Every structure is written in structure tokens, then in C-alpha cells.
Chain A
Amino acid sequence: MTTPTDPPLLDIRNLSVRLGEGAASPALIENINLRIRAGETVGLVGESGSGKTTLGMSLMRLLPPLLDRGLSGQIHYDGDDIVQMDRAELTRLRGGEISMILQDPMASLNPIFTIGNQLKEGLRLHATASGSLEDRAIAALESVRIPSPEARLQNHPHQMSGGMRQRVVGAISLTRAPRLLVADEPTTSLDVTIQYQFLELLKDLQKRAGMAMLFITHDFGVVAKMCDRVAVMYAGQIVEEGPVREIFRRPRHWYTRALLDSVPTLDQALDRLPTIPGSPPSVANRPQGCRFHPRCANAQAKCMQMPPMAELAPAHDVRCWFPLQEQRGAA
């Protein structure tokens, strides 16, 4: 366990991704500040179009060229700024230091090569390890609990189930022992019983490797299970960030609170679900001032100005002029 005084592994400062150069161009994500410490899991929650995937992609500089040119701010990784890195440095970073698991394992794996072939590609780059390539590939499959790994090496992706494929993607992304894993909705395409097992596996692998994780999801249940801290994104900004318990028990932003309340649960039989009116704005139609105010139950005149991110409790920041006070479920 690290203490809050350790320097963070990843320190994102004022990160923006704009469609074009100049501060006036529309921004996919805007003035993002976020820190991830070694071994820590930070959840990034938001709806589609909130910018969570753009943020994840920008950490590895995997944005399309047009957007990559619109990147500004800093991403300090272990002392270096990823935003300033050249090609050679990025190659060293990708897969080695920071790795990624994406939503659809079929899109991450190449359908015409065997699993073994694709695993060994990553292993070959890892010159320091001992043992034959074959043995290390088998060990990698064993580490993600794939039964009869020797036989599975000969399989093509289509011969495996979705859950199995995602475990192979996990094995590949962990071959070079990254220190940070960006998991972008890794279980959204999986069945619930398979999702559960994959999350357990991921947590276990993380603990053993002491790896940090940025976990991108829209599912608060997954956040509750996986994360130490949570950042909630809305329309390109982080609107609230804090320890996972604080966010669930005592959300300060009206958006966070309303989202949490709108999720049906097993233990209560409600007649109606509380809802948020309207839908999230597109990049081109983001409102003036607080981005959430047109949908907010407590919008006031002041909300026409953009609220700053303010620390309300230790390590709990919120972007709201009138943050919530009471605990959730207390009313």
C-alpha cells in the first residue's frame, strides 16, 4: 500500500484534447487533472461522449493524428511528460510501462493468427525473462487461468468464448509487466457471470504485480467492486473526484448523485426510478457555464459561470457552485 505522500506514478495536469489548435476550438476533454499512484485503481465513470475513452487513449498517445495534434497540458509518468515524448520513447512506453485492455477482445486480437503467435509477439520483446518462448506463453495463459494452455496456444480467436478471449487479451497486455493498466470497459461485452470472474482475476493479477489501473466504465457496480478512487466525467470534464466510499455515500455533485439514484437495485421495489431529464450534450452543443446546469435539479443563475474544481473534503474535489451536503439514503 502506498501512502498519499508518495509521488504519483501518473500525474495528469490541465490535459485538453481539442478539435484543432487554439483555446477556442471545441474540446473533447478539457482541463483534466488526475493522479494515479502505484498499485492504485482509479475509476473513470461517465456516459457516452463524456470523454473517458479520449482520456484513456491520450495517456498512450493513441489518439487519431488530428486529435493528437490538439493535445495540450502534461501527462507526467514517472518524471517524464508523455505529451512531449517522441516515437522511440512512446514505443518503449506502450506495452512495457502502460498497457491497455479494450472492450471488444475480437477487435484486439488478430483473427488470422493463433493465440500462441500473438502472445509470443509480446514475449519476444521482453528480452530479460528466462525460459523458452513456448514455456513463457504457456505460463502467461496459466496466469489468466485458461485451462489446458498448451492446446489453447494452437487456437485461433474464433475458437474461444468471449470471456476466454478477454483473458487472452489480459495475458498479452500483462506479458511485459506494465506498471499501469488502462482498462476501457473490459467487461462490457461479457456475460455477467463471466464478467464477475474476469474482474476477480484482474484484481488478483493487479495485486500480485503491484500494478496501477485506470478503470474506465459506465457501470457503478463495477466501480464499487474494483476502485479505490473515482473520477466522474461529464461533457469532457471531471466534475467530481474522491475516494470510492465518499463518492457512493456522500456524493457532492448533483450529477453523481442523480446518476447513482437512477440505477435500479435488487433490494428495493420502486414504482418509479428517479431520472435526469434530457440527455448528455454533444461536443458541438455544450452549454455555457456548468455543463450540467440544463439538466440539474438545483440550477441557479450563478451556474451560467463555469464552477472551479474545489476540494470539499480531504482528496474529494467537486466542480459545483452549490455542492450537496447530506448523505445519500439519509433522506
Chain B
Amino acid sequence: MSGAIISARRLGRVFKVTNGGKKQDLHAVSALDIDLMPGKILGVVGESGCGKTTLNRMLLLLDTPTEGEVLFKGQDCSTLAAEARREFRRAVQPVFQNPFSSLDPRMRVGQIIAEPLATIAGMSKQDIQNRVGEVLVAVGLRAEDARRFPNEFSGGQRQRIAIARAIASKPEVLMLDEPVSSQDISIRAQILNILKDLQADYGLSCVFISHDLATVRFMADDVIVMYLGRVIERGTARAICTTPAHPYTKALLAANLPPDPDAPRPELPPQGEIPSPLNPPSGCAYHTRCPLRFERCDRERPNNYPTPHGGTAACHLLDPNLTR
């Protein structure tokens, strides 16, 4: 699709691992396509081993794909010249899960936030100091906090600092990898609101990675659901969270525990273990846990079929030519 800020085309990452003395390939991400459109939030949902963190690292150019490519405004990132790479670093900023490990304890908050500004040529000391104060205020802290160290702040305040750092260079894209998972519940809502406000105020595009469907529903416009390195369903946040088509998305939805003691029991409760990505099942990777599997599922990898609500899902049950 044209006009996307960041795209992935048939993106894949294979890790060479040694397992019990045997050399093996671990397919962390396979054949992944996404288009992040300007001003939109793309949610990425999945459980451990689904490849969401590897995807994040590749989209940040912190890891090199073994297949396919990452495009930044249509340009293949593997061929970016030094200057263009520097521009990418300014324009695409991460916020990680744990602000206790993502902030250097020996740097003052002001230095931490000013660091990405080094990607911008010609900023004076005064410009940098002003910008640091501005973004601290934008995340609900005070400009004076620039002089303090990270250990003087609570977990929620540290995540605000991490967000301030991310927006300091006036980026176009935020890559958010589980940004509230390590936070207390009363803090989560504060952080989510800040992110949503900043996104709207600055017209940012975001990739929002989470294991929690309800949070993704609040944040995202569109959602991809990943399982063992592949996208198994995509659609609007509303469709994914209310009328999912893939049995795995349905299981994720069933596993989401609503804060309501009278919530009805799900029809298809989740079952089984997540298989090892070192030894993924044949055919549809979900068939070992799927309550609706039939003989075709362990033989053949399903194509992406259109879902009733305008998305796609990789499930044989959606094949219009299905005969059982």
C-alpha cells in the first residue's frame, strides 16, 4: 500500500540455535506483511514465542531480517545511507516495557531525554534544554525534573520519562512494546491516556505491542494477531475484539477475564500448550490446540481468507470452497 510510513514485506527472521548439541533453525517471524499508515495505531497481539518482540526489533532496525524487507516511506531500510539512517533514528522511537532497565541510572533525566536530539544537526544547548523541558511537561512532569536521576522517580513516572525521551526528537513513529505491562493498574490508565493524547496531538503513528486484548482495543485502530511467528488474523480493533474469525483469536478473547463476576463462560475455552517455536506443528500451527480442527489442518498451511468484518484470517474454515 502506498503512503505507509513503515511497511514490512514478507519479513522473516530465522535464528540459528543449538538445541541439545543439534543445530536448528528457529523461525521467529515468517512472511509478515504490515503497513503502518500515518496517524494510525497498529496493535500487535500474541503470546510468548509469537515473534512480537523480534518484529519490534526489526522494525526499529535493531535486528536484521533474514528474509523480506522493512520499508521506511517506501525505501528499503537495508540500503539506507548513513544520513537517511540518522533520519530514521530521529523519526522512529521506541518505548520499552520496563523503565527500570530502559533508563540509564547514572544519567540525569535531562541527559536521557536529550540523547535522541543528537540525531538532529544544529541544535544549540539552549534549544536542547527548552525541548527537554517541553516534553517533560507534555508527559505530566515538571521541567525541573531534568536535573534529577531516574531512581528518584516511581515506576509510572519513569515510564513518563521514557515517553518524553521518545517524543523529544519530534518523531513520526512510536514503537511501543508492552509499555504498561510492568505498571500498577492505577498507573496504566494514566500512561495509556498520555500515549493516546500525544498520538493525537502530534499525529504520530504507533505500533502497539501487547498481550492484552482489552488494552489493544482501547489503543489501536487496526490489529494483527500473531501465533508462532505468523499473522493469523488481521482486522479493525473492534472486529478483532468483538467478532474474531480465527479460532486462536477466539481463544485469546475467551482467556480475557472481564471484571465482571457474572460474565458468561466462553463457548470455546482455550486449551493446550503453546508449542515450541523450534518444533512448530505442520500445516496450520494452531491445529494442535484448535477445537475445530479437521484433517486438512495438519497437512496444509491455510491461506489468508477474507473475514465477514473486512479483515483476513488464516483458517481453512473460512475457505469459500471448503468441502468437508
* Chains A and B come from one and the same complex: yes
Which residues of B (204-252) have their CB < 8 Å from a CB of A? 211-215, 217-218, 237-238, 241-242, 251-252
Does B196 make an interface contact (CB < 8 A)? yes
Does A275 make an interface contact (CB < 8 A)? yes
Q: Are B157 and A279 in contact (CB under 8 A)?
A: yes
Q: Are B196 and A272 in contact (CB under 8 A)?
A: yes
Does B34 make an interface contact (CB < 8 A)? no
Q: Are B259 and A264 in contact (CB under 8 A)?
A: no
Q: Which of B157, B184, B259 contacts A265 (CB 8 A)?
A: B259
Q: Are A279 and B213 in contact (CB under 8 A)?
A: no
Does A67 make an interface contact (CB < 8 A)? no
Interface range, A side: 35 or more
Per-residue 0/1 for B148-168: is the Cβ within 8 Å of any A Cβ (1 yes, 0 no)? Answer: 000000111100000000000
Q: Are A279 and B156 in contact (CB under 8 A)?
A: yes
Q: Which of B193, B256, B257 contacts A272 (CB 8 A)?
A: B193
Per-residue 0/1 for A18-58: is the Cβ within 8 Å of any B Cβ (1 yes, 0 no)? Answer: 00000000000000000000000000000110000000000
Closest 8 interchain pairs by CB? A221-B257, A193-B270, A262-B189, A220-B259, A273-B189, A191-B47, A264-B218, A196-B255
The complex places the Cα of A221 from the Cα of B157 at a distance, in Å, of: 26
Known: A194-B274, A267-B242. A275 touches B259 (CB 8 A): no
The residues of B that contact A79 with a CB separation of less than 8 Å are none
Q: Which of B217, B251, B257 contacts A225 (CB 8 A)?
A: B257
Q: Are A275 and B260 in contact (CB under 8 A)?
A: no
Which residues of A (224-273) have their CB < 8 Å from a CB of B? 224-225, 244-245, 248, 258-260, 262-267, 269-273
Which residues of A (146-193) have their CB < 8 Å from a CB of B? 161-164, 191-193
Which B residue sits closest to A244, measured CB to CB?
A: B261
The residues of A that contact B267 with a CB separation of less than 8 Å are none
Cβ distance B187 to chain A, nearest Cβ, rounded Å: 6
Q: A262-B185, A263-B189, A276-B186 are in contact. List 16 more A-B contacts (CB 8 A).
A: A162-B48, A192-B252, A193-B270, A196-B254, A196-B255, A260-B259, A262-B188, A265-B217, A272-B193, A273-B193, A274-B189, A275-B186, A276-B189, A279-B186, A280-B184, A280-B186
Does A204 make an interface contact (CB < 8 A)? no
Q: Are B192 and A273 in contact (CB under 8 A)?
A: yes
The complex places the Cα of A31 from the Cα of B148 at a distance, in Å, of: 37
Q: Identify the B interface with A (CB < 8 A).
A: 47-48, 154-157, 184-190, 192-193, 196, 211-215, 217-218, 237-238, 241-242, 251-263, 269-271, 273-274
A-B CB contacts (within 8 Å), total count: 130
Q: Identify the A interface with B (CB < 8 A).
A: 47-48, 161-164, 191-197, 199-200, 218-225, 244-245, 248, 258-260, 262-267, 269-277, 279-280
The residues of A that contact B214 with a CB separation of less than 8 Å are 263-266
Q: Are A279 and B217 in contact (CB under 8 A)?
A: no
- Interface centre among A163, A266, A271, by most chain B C-beta atoms within 10 angstroms, is A266
Q: Are B259 and A258 in contact (CB under 8 A)?
A: no
The complex places the Cα of A266 from the Cα of B258 at a distance, in Å, of: 8
Cβ distance A276 to chain B, nearest Cβ, rounded Å: 4
A selection of 25 A-B contacts at a CB cut-off of 8 Å is: A48-B184, A161-B274, A164-B273, A191-B211, A193-B47, A193-B255, A195-B255, A221-B258, A224-B257, A244-B261, A248-B259, A248-B260, A259-B186, A262-B185, A262-B186, A262-B188, A263-B185, A266-B217, A266-B241, A266-B258, A272-B193, A273-B189, A273-B193, A279-B157, A280-B186
- Interface centre among A199, A244, A245, A272, by most chain B C-beta atoms within 10 angstroms, is A272
Which B residue sits closest to A230, measured CB to CB?
A: B261
The complex places the Cα of A126 from the Cα of B196 at a distance, in Å, of: 56
Which B residue sits closest to A164, measured CB to CB?
A: B273
Q: Are A248 and B218 in contact (CB under 8 A)?
A: no
Q: Which of B238, B253, B254, B259 contacts A221 (CB 8 A)?
A: B259
Q: Are A161 and B273 in contact (CB under 8 A)?
A: yes
The residues of B that contact A245 with a CB separation of less than 8 Å are 261-262
The residues of A that contact B184 with a CB separation of less than 8 Å are 47-48, 218, 279-280
- Interface centre among B242, B257, B269, by most chain A C-beta atoms within 10 angstroms, is B257
